[in-house]
Amino acid sequence: MSMNLMSGSTEIPVRVADIVQVSERVKRFRFEPVAGGSMPVFSAGAHVVVSMNIGSRRARNPYSLMGSVTDLSAYEISVLKTVDSRGGSVFLHDSVKIGDQLTVSTPVNLFPVEQRGRKFILIAGGIGITPMIAMAEQLTAQKLPFELHYAYRNDQAGAYADTLKARYGHLVHLYIDSRDERIPLDALLKNQPLGTHLYVCGPGGMINWVLESGRKAGWPEENLHSERFLAPPSGKPFSVVLERSKKTVTVGEHESILEAIEASGVEPPYLCRGGACGQCLTGVVSCDGTLEHNDHYLAPEERDSNQKIMICVSRIKGSNLVLDL
Amino acid sequence: MLVSGIKSRPVYTGLILDPHAEHHLIAVEGEGALAVLDMLSPAPRDAAEKATILYTKAGSAPVDHEGALAKLHPYRLQPLPTIQTLLIRLQGFLTTAKMGTRLYIAGTEGFIGQAMQVALNNAIDFHSVRTEHRGSLARRIQCVHCKGFTENVTMSHVPCAHCGLNLLVRDHYSRRLGAFQGVCIDAEVPGELPPAEEIFP
């Protein structure tokens, strides 16, 4: 494991250097280190967790880094404003101004470019374009062949579509839902040279469609890569007993177990806070209801064992959960 | 003398058909042919129709499995005289192969290691190759001192075929070289050796 992973929860104070409205619901933020100097090195596909104080609550959201890996003077992220979210994206859009201070984690890459690959197919849906922007930049610098297939809802929604098209020309293929344009996935999967790797980022349904089509076209699992961060779903409040710390906390309606535990002063390890990485895997001692697994990390048999839970996104249906923490 | 639990020691999980593959490319040496028969005989008809089998009898000579493989009616069966010619043929197929091709390798460890090298050089992910070890346990080893390779080693230690040092055969494996590591066993007192045992028959 890299140093970055080891220090995944290390927070770096940053100043908002620039905010750009990219499309109807997407803003780009540029974060410079408050202490001066440069930000830690990262590779394309990496994300950071941005911490925000929203009222009395501390929200932490993962965002892919989209800037050039050679420019460490600042990090850039793009944020889609989702109104039914728990406030992080709305806060960034409506309350954060140039000059404000936030903290970001050191970067973690759960979606790295396979360096032994011969060719790369990048498929993005909507805001899933952000890691692909860094990948396209890195692959260009490495002189590795790639093509980018970018689907979005309508003309107003295609953040960066024009910039990408201008920069990479025929390597970029755009598909607009409202014009009934679809990614010709089956044809795409059929005609790739050996050693091609596929990367997909976007809505859950799209990711499943792409991965399933890839498997059915005989692509090995090792050549199919995806990333999706989940926001912790809301639900009824319940209490959590931390057996080793001898603490009891209440998980609110719009709070994750991890956030409730952090608010009590206990700091469990985490990396992505989006159900993807497995770092916050926690042992379940007992539960008076049923576990609601919302992650996409645990294998089906692990879910069914009722002995483990990913506390960043999962909850329980019940009133009391005892954790080995 | 073998240190157990060395993680680089390869594990061959067996030939399992990928039902979705557009094309099955199968590199097989000696008794590895039996693994191919086990995989394809019970499979649906179209599995063999999508299979290219590159076969050399090498380790299993004088037994020749070509007839049995032909009875599977594969799309293509190419018997080859030696491992080296098979590897060149394999490289030829991989040069033009498309995604959707699944590679299978069966035979002795030395053969699997060398065919895997060809696969890796063609950007195939190690974990996506399905492998099965059949036949002799003999090892291909690299002398860590002179870097020469010695093939078909069945004994616990062996003189290097190149520099002559007495080499202890280890479980330490190099995927890049497709070989186990051989380390000088009598450096302190040259010639003072435990009796060699046949541990890789």
∠ Cα A157 A158 A164 (to 5°): 165
E runs forming strands in B57-178: 76-79, 101-107, 130-133, 139-143, 149-153, 157-159, 166-174
pLDDT surpassing 60 at residue B50: yes
Q: What's the mean pLDDT in A273-277? A: 88
Token pair for B28: 């097989």
For A108-117, what is each residue's pLDDT tens digit? 999 999 999 9
Percent of chain A at pLDDT > 70 equals 97
What does the alpha-carbon distance between residue A12 and residue A34 come to, in Å, rounded to a whole number? 8
CB A201 within 8 A of CB A207: yes
Instruction: Decide: residue A55, CB within 10 A, 0-12 exposed, 13-18 middle, 19+ buried.
Output: exposed
CB-based contact, B94 to chain A, within 8 Å: yes
Give how far A143 is from chain B: nearest CA, Å.
Answer: 16
Residues of chain B neighbouring A187 (CB-CB closer than 8 A): none
pLDDT bracket for residue A85 (50, 70, 90): low
For B25-40, what is each residue's pLDDT tens digit? 999 999 999 999 999 9
- If one counts every other C-beta atom within 10 angstroms of the C-beta of residue A202, the result is 23
Smallest CA-to-CA distance from B94 within B117, B71, B110, B112 is with B117
**The predicted structure's pLDDT at residue B181:** 96
Just give the CATH number of A119-228.
Answer: 3.40.50.80
E runs forming strands in A128-215: 146-152, 172-176, 196-201
B100, B120, B127: residue with CB nearest A222: B127
Beta bridge partner(s), residue A11: A105
Q: What's the mean pLDDT in B77-85? A: 96
Smallest CA-to-CA distance from B136 within B44, B31, B65, B56 is with B31
ipTM above 0.90, yes or no: no
So what CATH class is A11-109? mainly beta
Token pair for B148: 């020469």
Task: Give the CATH fold of the A238-323 domain.
Answer: Ubiquitin-like (UB roll) (3.10.20)
List all residues of chain A from 101 to 130 with a beta carbon under 8 Å from chain B. 114, 116-118
Q: What's the mean pLDDT in A276-293? A: 93
Cis, bond preceding A220 (omega within 30 deg of 0) = no
Residues of chain A neighbouring B102 (CB-CB closer than 8 A): 218, 220
Higher pLDDT, A165 or A59: A165
DSSP string of A245-304, one letter each residue: TTEEEEE-TT--HHHHHHHTT-----S-SSSSS-TTEEEEEEESSEEE---SSS-HHHHH
pLDDT surpassing 60 at residue A141: yes
CA distance readout (Å), A190 to A186, A201, B23, B35, B130: 6, 20, 12, 29, 21
Q: What is the mean pLDDT of chain A?
A: 92
Smallest CA-to-CA distance from A62 within A9, A126, A132 is with A9
- B123 contacts A219? CB cut-off 8 A: no
pLDDT bracket for residue A233 (50, 70, 90): confident
For A190-232, what is each residue's pLDDT tens digit? 999 999 999 999 999 999 999 999 999 999 999 999 998 888 8
Q: Where are the domains of chain A?
A: 11-109, 119-228, 238-323
Q: What is the C-alpha end-to-end distance of chain A, expressed in Å?
A: 23
pLDDT bracket for residue A86 (50, 70, 90): confident
pLDDT surpassing 50 at residue A5: no
What does the alpha-carbon distance between residue A214 and residue A194 come to, in Å, rounded to a whole number? 14
List all residues of chain B from 119 to 178 with a beta carbon under 8 Å from chain A. 120, 122-125, 127-128
B18, B20, B99: residue with CB nearest A223: B99
Beta bridge partner(s), residue A18: A30
Q: What is the mean pLDDT of chain B?
A: 94
How far is it between the farthest Cα atoms of chain A? 60
∠ Cα A140 A65 A162 (to 5°): 60
What does the alpha-carbon distance between residue B187 and residue A81 come to, in Å, rounded to a whole number? 69
